C-alpha cells in the first residue's frame, strides 16, 4: 500500500470527531533515553550496571523539566539463550528500581525491548524472530512476563514492543504486533503500548503500520535526518566513514548544505541516492517538509504519535546540535508529537558525562527539555 492509499483509507475509516478526541498520554512530551545501560552494553568491558544510572540521574532529568524516560532493555540482559523462559530476578531488579525512581520523581517511563530472542537491529542477516515460531514464543512470553510483573503500575508506565525493526515484511511485523498486544492485554487491559514500524522505525515507514482497533496504542518513529549531520564520523555507519575519509574530516554543520557532496557522489557510486541533496540547505523549512509523513499520519489517523529517538552525535559542533534539536522540538511540538532524545549517557550522543553525570551543555539540555 502506498502512502496516498494508506492516508485515504485512514481518513475514510476514522470520523473527524473520533480523531479529535483520541485518547493521548499526558506525560510523554519531552524526555530522554537511558540508552546503552542495560541495552547495547555488550561491547563495554566489565560494564558497571550499578554505577552507570542511579536514582540521582532520574532526579536530575526531572529537574531539567523533562516528563519521561525511555528505558531500552535487551532480552539477554535477563534471559540466557541456554535457559529460555528463565528470567534472572537480579537483572530484572534494574528495571524494577528504575520504574520506581521514575515514579518517585514524577517521570513516566517507556520500557523498550531493544533486543529480542532471535532479533537485534544490528545483526542483519542473522535474525530469526520473524521466521521461527520458537523465537516468537519466547518474545511473546517476555511480554506476558512484563505485563504480569508490572500490572499494578499506573499510567506512568508504557511498553514498547521492539526497537527498530528491520528484515521483516510489514505483514510479518504487523502480525507479531497484534499477537504481542493480545498477550499483554490478556493480563493488563489498560496498559499503554508503543508500536513502531519497519525500516529502523523510519518516519517514511509510518504508512506500513497496521492501525489497531484498540485503545491506548501509541505509534512511534525515530528521526535522525540528515544522517551526514546527525551521524557524522560515526564509526558504525559506512556512509559517514566514507564521507569523512573522502573529505579529510570535513564537518557538516546545521543549518547548512553538505560540503563537497557532488564530488563525494562522483567518487562513490553506492551513494547516488544523495545526489538529490546536492546544494540543499538543511534548515527548519527543509526539516518540516521532511517530517511530512508524521504530519500526514497524525492528520489521517488521529492516533497518538511519538518520536522515541532523535539526536545529533557529539562530533557535530555544539551550535549544530543545539539548532538541530531546537528545530526538531519545534516541529514535533506543532504536531503534538512527544519525543525522547538519544541519549542521556550514551558515549556518542551523550547529554551528560559518563563518569560524573554532569551535563555537557546546559543550553542543549534546556532545548531538549522544552515541552
Residues 129 and 251 in one domain: no
* CA dist., res. 19 & res. 23, Å (int): 9
Q: What is the pLDDT of residue 346?
A: 84
* Identified catalytic residue from 79, 160, 164, 167: 164
Cell 529537574 found at: 63
Residues 134 and 166 in one domain: yes
> Which grid coordinates are listed for 347?
558515549
Element (H, E) at 338: strand 338-341
* CA dist., res. 66 & res. 58, Å (int): 10
Residues 150 and 92 in one domain: yes
**DSSP codes, 231-297:** TTT-TT-HHHHHHHHHHTS----SSBPPTTHHHHHHH-GGGGGGGGGTTPPBSHHHHHHHTHHHHHH
Residues 246 and 130 in one domain: no
Give residues with Cβ within 8 angstroms of 223, minimum separation 6. Answer: 203, 291, 307, 309, 310, 328
* Identified catalytic residue from 79, 160, 167, 309: 309
> Which grid coordinates are listed for 125?
542477516
- Taking alpha carbons only, the member of 186, 135, 197 closest to residue 164 is 197
Residues 297 and 258 in one domain: no
Residue 298 sits at φ, ψ, to 5 deg, of -60, -45
Question: Do the beta carbons of residue 167 and residue 118 sit within 8 Å?
Answer: no
Residues 239 and 300 in one domain: no
> Which grid coordinates are listed for 126?
542473522
Residues 130 and 161 in one domain: yes
Question: Do the beta carbons of residue 228 and residue 258 sit within 8 Å?
Answer: yes
Domain region containing 267: 227-281
Choose one of 241, 265, 281: the last residue of a domain: 281
Residues 220 and 231 in one domain: no
- Taking alpha carbons only, the member of 242, 235, 368 closest to residue 311 is 368
Q: What is the pLDDT of residue 46?
A: 83
Choose one of 240, 266, 281: the last residue of a domain: 281
**CATH code, domain carrying 193:** 3.20.20.80
pLDDT averaged over consecutive 10-residue blocks of the chain (371 residues)?
44 37 74 97 88 97 98 98 98 98 98 97 92 98 98 97 96 98 98 97 97 96 98 97 97 98 98 97 98 98 97 98 98 97 94 95 98 93
Query: What is the chain's alpha carbon radius of gyration, rounded to the nearest angstrom?
Result: 20
Q: What is the pLDDT of residue 276?
A: 96
Residues 198 and 73 in one domain: yes
pTM score: 0.93
The packing angle between helices 3-13 and 292-301, to 10°, is 30
Question: Do the beta carbons of residue 299 and residue 306 sit within 8 Å?
Answer: no
* CA dist., res. 121 & res. 14, Å (int): 33
Helices (H), the chain: 3-13, 16-20, 49-52, 55-63, 75-78, 89-104, 133-149, 170-185, 227-230, 238-247, 261-267, 284-290, 292-301, 318-335, 362-369
Residues 145 and 259 in one domain: no
Residue 115 region by backbone torsions, left for phi larger than 0, else alpha for psi between -120 and 50, else beta: beta
Is residue 309 flagged as an active site residue? yes
- Number of domains the chain is built from: 2
Residues 221 and 265 in one domain: no
Q: In sequence order, what are the beta bridge partners of 338? A: 306
Choose one of 212, 247, 281: the last residue of a domain: 281
Residues 90 and 239 in one domain: no
> Which grid coordinates are listed for 321?
546540535
- Taking alpha carbons only, the member of 64, 109, 71 closest to residue 359 is 64
Amino acid at each position: 500500500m502506498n502512502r496516498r492509499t494508506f492516508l485515504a483509507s485512514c481518513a475514510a475509516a476514522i470520523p473527524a470527531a473520533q480523531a479529535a478526541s483520541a485518547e493521548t498520554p499526558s506525560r510523554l512530551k519531552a524526555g530522554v533515553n537511558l540508552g546503552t545501560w542495560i541495552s547495547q552494553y555488550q561491547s563495554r568491558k566489565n560494564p558497571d550496571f550499578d554505577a552507570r544510572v542511579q536514582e540521582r540521574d532520574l532526579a536530575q532529568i526531572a529537574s531539567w523539566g523533562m516528563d519521561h524516560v525511555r528505558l531500552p532493555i535487551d532480552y539477554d540482559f535477563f534471559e540466557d539463550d541456554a535457559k529460555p523462559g528463565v528470567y534472572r530476578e537480579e537483572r530484572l531488579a534494574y528495571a524494577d528500581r528504575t520504574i520506581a525512581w521514575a515514579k518517585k520523581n514524577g517521570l513516566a517511563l517507556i520500557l523498550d525491548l531493544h533486543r529480542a530472542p532471535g532479533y537485534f537491529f544490528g545483526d542483519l542477516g542473522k535474525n530469526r524472530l520473524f521466521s521461527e515460531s520458537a523465537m516468537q514464543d519466547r518474545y511473546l512470553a517476555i511480554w506476558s512476563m512484563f505485563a504480569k510483573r508490572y500490572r499494578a503500575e499506573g499510567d506512568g508506565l508504557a511498553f514498547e514492543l521492539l526497537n527498530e525493526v528491520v528484515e521483516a515484511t510489514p505483514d510479518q511485523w504487523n502480525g507479531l504486533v497484534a499477537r504481542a498486544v493480545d498477550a499483554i492485554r490478556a493480563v493488563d487491559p489498560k496498559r499503554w503500548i508503543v508500536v513502531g514500524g519497519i525500516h529502523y522505525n523510519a518516519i517514511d515507514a509510518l504508512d506500513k503500520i497496521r492501525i489497531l482497533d484498540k485503545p491506548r496504542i501509541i505509534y512511534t518513529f525515530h528521526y535522525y535526518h540528515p544522517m551526514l549531520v546527525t551521524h557524522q564520523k560515526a564509526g558504525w555507519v559506512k556512509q559517514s566513514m566514507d564521507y569523512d575519509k573522502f573529505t579529510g574530516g570535513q564537518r557538516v554543520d546545521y543549518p547548512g548544505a553538505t560540503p563537497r557532496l557532488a564530488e563525494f557522489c562522483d567518487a562513490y557510486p553506492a551513494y547516488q541516492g544523495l545526489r538529490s541533496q546536492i546544494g540543499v540547505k538543511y534548515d527548519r523549512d527543509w526539516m518540516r517538509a521532511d517530517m511530512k509523513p508524521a504530519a500526514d499520519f497524525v492528520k489521517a489517523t488521529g492516533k497518538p504519535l511519538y518520536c522515541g529517538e532523535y539526536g545529533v552525535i557529539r562530533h557535530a559542533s555544539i551550535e549544530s546540535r543545539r539548532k538541530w534539536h531546537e528545530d526538531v522540538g519545534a516541529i514535533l511540538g506543532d504536531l503534538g508529537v512527544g519525543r525522547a532524545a538519544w541519549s542521556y549517557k550514551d558515549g556518542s550522543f551523550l547529554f551528560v558525562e559518563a563518569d560524573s553525570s554532569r551535563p555537557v551543555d546546559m543550553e542543549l539540555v534546556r532545548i531538549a527539555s522544552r515541552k
